[in-house]
Amino acid sequence: MNINISEHHTSETCTWCEKSKECVTADFNDAFIGKAAMCWNCLQKAVKVSSRKETDETSGHNRKPTD
Ligand SMILES: [Zn+2]
């Protein structure tokens, strides 16, 4: 996973929680999240989601078909 924080905003609407907060523009190099302005709180969540997804992908070669 590669996260690139490109901008800092003292007050911006977070893409995730839609509250006006201190935000950063983070580029996740990931189709799921992509590039988004988000607050620090949501950034941490996004990192968790993204790293969990990455773990699933590396260990999930044995995918069961969904029924
Ligand atoms: Zn947020």
Q: How far is the CA of 44 from the centre of ligand 1 (A)?
A: 9
What is the C-alpha to C-alpha distance for residues 58 and 4, in angstroms, rounded to an integer? Answer: 22
Spell out the residues 6+ positions from residue 44 whose beta carbon is closer than 8 angstroms to its own. none
Q: What is the pLDDT of residue 25?
A: 96
Q: What is the pLDDT of residue 35?
A: 92
In a structure prediction context, what are the per-residue pLDDT tens digits for the chain, which is 67 residues long? 788 999 999 999 999 999 999 999 999 887 778 899 999 999 999 888 877 877 776 665 556 666 6
Q: What does the pLDDT look like over 51-62, one tens digit per residue?
A: 787 777 666 555
What is the C-alpha to C-alpha distance for residues 10 and 40, in angstroms, rounded to an integer? Answer: 11
Element (H, E) at 58: helix 40-59
Q: How far is the CA of 46 from the centre of ligand 1 (A)?
A: 10
Q: How far is the CA of 53 from the centre of ligand 1 (A)?
A: 20
